[in-house]
Structure 1
């Protein structure tokens, strides 16, 4: 169990006060605007046009980035955006909806890091990010987050103040470093990534793996630097071979090696890793699975499959995969 330090009471009170103000704003705007529509009426403006309008009106711009292949995006659409609750939640804002795969969505991703879907961002009239919501779980939770978002209050200064007072708070460290990545403040984020690694030497608190995963996604999706992302994923796999993120690390390193014609070198690296960590079942399983999918062969790959079988990781037929992997 990790030690955590509760944020100072003033921070909690401020959070509740902001939420209360956001709810008051929702009610006030709804009363002024009259009956709400049955669902969100998305603006047809481009991002730059919406920001120009925001300059004139003083409104915030709300951007929902989605994909048809994103399950959470579909749930958010059905449970929030297609309802009156969603319409009320965006009243007083300039709401834009962008498909991540469209030209407009890709242009936005070059201006603002989008490393997970759905992403809902609030921008001030100058285009500066106020805050964002990434992912979707429950309607009630999302509407609470929306109330905070539309308040127009940037949470980063208070989070930084809390972290300065509680530098050993791992979860707070992760939250601030993600905000830094969202704001393209990479040097400051890297300092906190290394702090997360120090705070989680054995990986049991999952601080280090989450910090490194966030950095790798930022390097890959926003910086468009797959080589840097590959190095970060390798660091994760090498340092935390039994982590819940090791499967993602093996997949990403495998995909990078395959796209660059370096699968032979990847096998050498992966086999060295599984030999060093024979009790890391997730590591062995993922190495064996990705190798078999590309019809790679080798005794060390077969041994990885047998290790996974011995450790009870993966399907019952891992021994059959081992036979295939060691065949000529």
Structure 2
């Protein structure tokens, strides 16, 4: 199990990164970008978002977290035939839940930080920018390629005008695909092979939900299609990065990949910098088992 110092450092890191991302969102000023007179892509009407930020937070962050905690508790209390000496099933459930949630939350807040930085730096105008800004300059007839850089907004809603300058990339799409990819990977590693079809069905549903989230951002005139496409790819790739370089390098994580053999599986640990493998007691699920130690050099 993780030491208290390590947990404190990890939680503090998540909190600091999250606070920096929130500060950018609340207090930063986006880049003031101009527009071409004939640019029809920013002259669409404003529409309320189908998926609000609150709805996205619940469905892409809180619900996956709840699912992973419930699954870890179920496996700790019902799925594992034994527990480590000196531990309780409650402590095992809490430890394994933390090990899968910490990378998920750290990846989420760091992704959000990168997205906020990109949004405020690029200052790309949303498709409904003209509708909410109402520029105080008139475009000369017959000059669609004239670039208007110095202008003000006659619109009265300052918050909408500020948000209308934060089109690229789509944070909704990125977070949806990040959450989908992480939860799909979690289900792949932790759900017994007996549940293959329900697991595959749930993974397909997660992908569809993420795709519909990205599509809704385009249909609501909140983003250009390229914003949603880039955000979706960024969220998916960011999840892969965290799985490869954070989860897979954490030997305490229940999601650590194990080598599968004919008679079961091998769990990996590190003893004085050397990888040591030990065979599992059961072969149906490598993610929640205690190994049968055959000699003093094989530890789990």
**Normalised by the size of structure 1, how large is the TM-score?**
0.24
* Bigger CA radius of gyration: 2
Bigger RCO (CA 8 Å, 6+ sep): 2
Give TM-score, length-normalised by structure 2: 0.26
